[in-house]
Structure 1
């Protein structure tokens, strides 16, 4: 019996889908939110690497992330992201339950609306557009989520979109809500994974 020695083939790295992320355009007033993130699950260890990797290229290396633990069952203390580690912390009263706080050493702080993972595609697109609006919504993250829910029932199941919904999701206008500001004509600076 002959055995061939050699290097075993390396498995291809598993790549996570890109983060579903929309950021406010450059040069505009900051407002309460800098954009929105729509995670695919409530697993921060699985979701944060793709988000942080995308933001590292735009905002500089993200070094810390803070969340409110209300909607996250497990909060890891550290998350590995492409050659560096991001520290994760939680604060109950200081951070809105629907917001994610990101810090980059030497470059700043950013606040993202966290669209609940179970939100339907059309509702998520409208929330993300409102959070990355020209001047930013004059609402907190939780107030924006509540206003969107009051304006129309959020779909909890992703179903095939009818032609009108597909048009809205692909860049048409969202059904307006009195509490959610009208969308600006300017396009957001970054849209990933939509």
Structure 2
């Protein structure tokens, strides 16, 4: 197999990567499906993976050696990235869920994270990251975004929108009765 020069390149983030939006379980559990959630700010793997590796190294210690991702969810597919003088190998697997990233390192280090799409709203992403960081969570990464945001994170209906809000929140109008305006006194 002939490898291109691009396959052999080590990509380095040339600007300061954003702080990783990452939430990990306090203590890893052998029963948990996920170790936490990660909400990247873009689909640029060089910038986002540099940010993720930096955050994981700071929070969990140790060295990150490999990262496994699904290629359809990202704009480009570098095979190696340079982070703080170390090289991290990146594997792209079409069989992996798009909502999952697997990070490995020495001494059986393995961190499975749910990947929340960058365009996800804050309320949905916060609920998903909270769900993934619970000890002994049993939800798969692909099913995480089906968890609704908490009621306190929903926007309040504006005056006059209460009928529409009721319709979209599971209630319904009786078909034979239309809403009426309050009587004027």
Instruction: Judge same fold: TM > 0.5, yes or no.
Output: yes
Q: 3-state SS of the aligned residue for 2:52?
A: helix
Q: Residue 129 of structure 1 corresponds to which residue in structure 2? A: 130
Q: Higher RCO, 1 or 2 (CA under 8 Å, sep at least 6)?
A: 1
Change beyond 3 A, Cα 1:59–1:32: farther
Q: Deviations over 1:4-32 (max 9, x none)?
A: xxxxxxxxx84222100000111534411
Shift of 1:46: 1.1
Q: Residue 8 of structure 1 corresponds to which residue in structure 2? A: none
Distance in 2, matches of 1:35 and 1:77, equals: 24
Q: Residue 78 of structure 1 corresponds to which residue in structure 2? A: 80
- Could you tell me which runs of 5 or more consecutive residues in structure 2 were left unpaired when the two chains were aligned: 1-13, 155-185
Q: Which has the larger radius of gyration?
A: 2
Distance in 1, matches of 2:61 and 2:127, equals: 24
Shift of 1:90: 0.9
Q: Residue 178 of structure 1 corresponds to which residue in structure 2? A: none
Any conservation in 2 of the 1:71–1:97 contact (CA below 8 Å)?
A: yes
1:100 aligns to 2:101 (yes or no): yes
Any conservation in 1 of the 2:27–2:135 contact (CA below 8 Å)?
A: no
TM-score with structure 1 setting the length: 0.66
Distance in 2, matches of 1:108 and 1:130, equals: 22
Q: Deviations over 1:132-178 (max 9, x none)?
A: 11222x22111122x23xx46xxxxxxxxxxx539xxxxxxxxxxxx
**CA root-mean-square deviation:** 1.9
Any conservation in 1 of the 2:33–2:136 contact (CA below 8 Å)?
A: no
TM-score with structure 2 setting the length: 0.69
Q: Residue 153 of structure 2 corresponds to which residue in structure 1? A: 165
Distance in 2, matches of 1:14 and 1:111, equals: 27
Alignment partner for residue 91 of structure 2, among 77, 86, 89? 89
Any conservation in 2 of the 1:60–1:107 contact (CA below 8 Å)?
A: no
